[in-house]
């Protein structure tokens, strides 16, 4: 399992509920197409967070790097529905920071450590 984290601030003209609805439609399409495992959208509560913390956190779970690559390739297809769903979300995003996480220690890391 890998966790693709997107820390997001919206553009000034974007509405939070509209963003949530658009993310649900886009992530639901990705999940039903089998290119992600699951997802969740969280919003910072009461403005609490580090000075650089963004307002929203979108966490996307993929099985492995192959599935993540499939999600990127799926997004790049010339399908009109994919383009519409992606664009609806993307046009609301102002600033974003991306990170990729994995559970630790993971089996792959433990096996490599044993080979040293």
Which domains does the chain show, CATH number per domain?
2-114 (3.30.70.100)
CA distance 27 to 39: 7
Residue among 92, 74, 93 at smallest CA distance from 82: 74
pTM for this model (two decimals): 0.88
Contact (CB, 8 A) for 29 and 79: no
Average pLDDT over residues 32-44: 97
Give SS3 for 81: helix
Q: What are the strands, taking DSSP E only, across the chain?
A: 2-10, 38-43, 56-62, 93-101
pLDDT at 31 over 60: yes
What pLDDT band is residue 110 in, cutting at 50, 70 and 90? low
Instruction: Give the Cβ contact number of residue 36 at 10 Å.
Output: 22
Average pLDDT over residues 82-88: 97
In this prediction, residue 112 carries a pLDDT of 62
Q: Token pair for residue 90?
A: 């993307």
In this prediction, residue 29 carries a pLDDT of 98
Average pLDDT over residues 78-82: 94
């Amino acid at each position: 399992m890998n966790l693709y984290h997107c820390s997001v601030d919206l553009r000034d003209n974007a509405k939070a509920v509209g963003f949530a609805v658009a993310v649900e439609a886009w992530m639901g399409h990705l999940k039903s197409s089998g290119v992600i495992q699951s997802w969740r959208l969280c919003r910072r509560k009461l403005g609490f967070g580090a000075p650089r913390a963004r307002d929203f956190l979108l966490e996307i779970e993929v099985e492995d790097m192959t599935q993540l690559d499939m999600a990127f390739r799926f997004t790049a297809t010339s399908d009109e529905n994919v383009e519409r769903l992606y664009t609806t979300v993307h046009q609301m995003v102002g600033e974003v920071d991306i990170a990729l996480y994995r559970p630790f220690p993971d089996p792959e890391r433990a096996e490599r450590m044993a080979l040293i």
